[in-house]
Amino acid sequence: MSGSIRAAPRCICGLLSLCAAGLAWAEDPSAWFQTTTQKLFDAVAAGDRKVWDEALDERCMITTEDGEVFDKRAYLEQLKPLPPGFEGHIEVRRLTVRTLGDAAVVHYWLDETEDIFGQHLHTIYVDTDTYRRSGDGWRAVAMQVTVVPRDLEAIETDQRLWPSMVGEYAYSERAPSRYRVFLRQGVLYGGRDAAGATRLIPLAPLVFFQQGSIHIMVFVCDRQGVVTEVRELHKYNEVRMRRLTPTGG
């Protein structure tokens, strides 16, 4: 009996410590989400399914940057280690948490570096996850990731056709807006007007990436080699703008 009495203060202190820790966790779970999210993406390169299995709710739905949708089982099945010659690391940045009762919305950026047989890749993603409180922890019920656009690197190409691309293009002669192409000091620019035109970054002799956008611009020639239109590849759609009249660059 006396031993139990002597142990009681220690038990009470221990319970108070646990309650205080639980209260702090409940008030601000940001540190837990930061640590947990980093562990999840550390596990991607290794194909570690255990970490993901513990974090995902059985009803979780995951949407990837390629538009693929997986339930928990399907996602775990496709999670495999990177093949030989591939190396990668993902760092979780700028994570924020908004708790809504027993739910939490977690938003963060993923800074990915990858090497493929000596070729270096760098990609930024933005991710939003939804968690629900489950007993003494949190489980993810939805995850969605999107690639953050960036300008593509220029590729050295044949520039002999560039002067022939200079001019004015439109969806229709009745369309109020125009797309204009300019050539300045050996660099092509495209836009609605000279002031707002941005660089056309070459990817191939007739293919360009529109700086500061997600658009690929493809110039089309007729059988005589004359540029007759430009096609804007936008969100997996193709929009045609026919050439009107050449203009000075």
Residue 226 one-letter amino acid: V
Architecture of domain 26-147: Roll (3.10)
What 8-state DSSP symbol labels residue 153? P
135-163 burial by CB neighbour count: b if 16+ within 10 A, else e? eeebbbbbbebeeeeeeeeeeeeeeeebe
pLDDT at 91 over 90: yes
- Of the candidate CATH numbers 3.40.50.300, 2.40.10.220, 2.40.128.50, 3.30.9.10, the domain formed by 162-243 belongs to 2.40.128.50
Please report the sign of the dihedral spanned by the C-alpha atoms of residue 91, residue 110, residue 47, residue 57.
Answer: positive
Per-residue pLDDT of 212-232, as tens digits, reads: 999 999 999 999 989 999 999
Amino acid 11: pLDDT: 42
Verdict on whether the full-model pTM lies above 0.95: no
pLDDT in tens, 22-77: 443 456 899 999 999 999 999 999 999 999 999 999 999 999 999 999 999 999 99
pLDDT band (50, 70, 90) for residue 173: confident
The 8-class DSSP code of residue 213 comes to S
Residue 216: strand, helix, or coil: strand
Q: What is the mean pLDDT of residues 87-114?
A: 97
Q: Domain extents for the chain?
A: 26-147, 162-243
CA 18 to chain centre: 39
CA distances from 149 to 122, 132, 188, 198 (A): 12, 30, 21, 16
Tell me how far the alpha carbon of residue 109 is from its chain's centroid. Answer: 8
- State the average pLDDT for the chain: 89
Confidence of residue 12 (pLDDT cuts 50, 70, 90): very low
Q: Among all chains, which residue has been given the structure tokens 């280690």?
A: 81
Query: pLDDT (tens digit, 9 = 90+) per residue, 115-149?
Result: 999 999 999 999 999 999 988 899 999 999 999 99
Do 162-243 and 26-147 fall under one CATH topology?
no
Q: Are 134 and 154 in contact (CB under 8 A)?
A: no
CA–CA separation, 220 and 229 (whole Å): 5
Q: How confident is the model at residue 246 (pLDDT cuts 50, 70, 90)?
A: low
Give the integer Cα–Cα distance in Å for 56 and 62.
10
More confident residue, 248 or 77: 77
- For position 100, what pLDDT does the model report? 93
CB atoms within 10 A of CB 105: 14
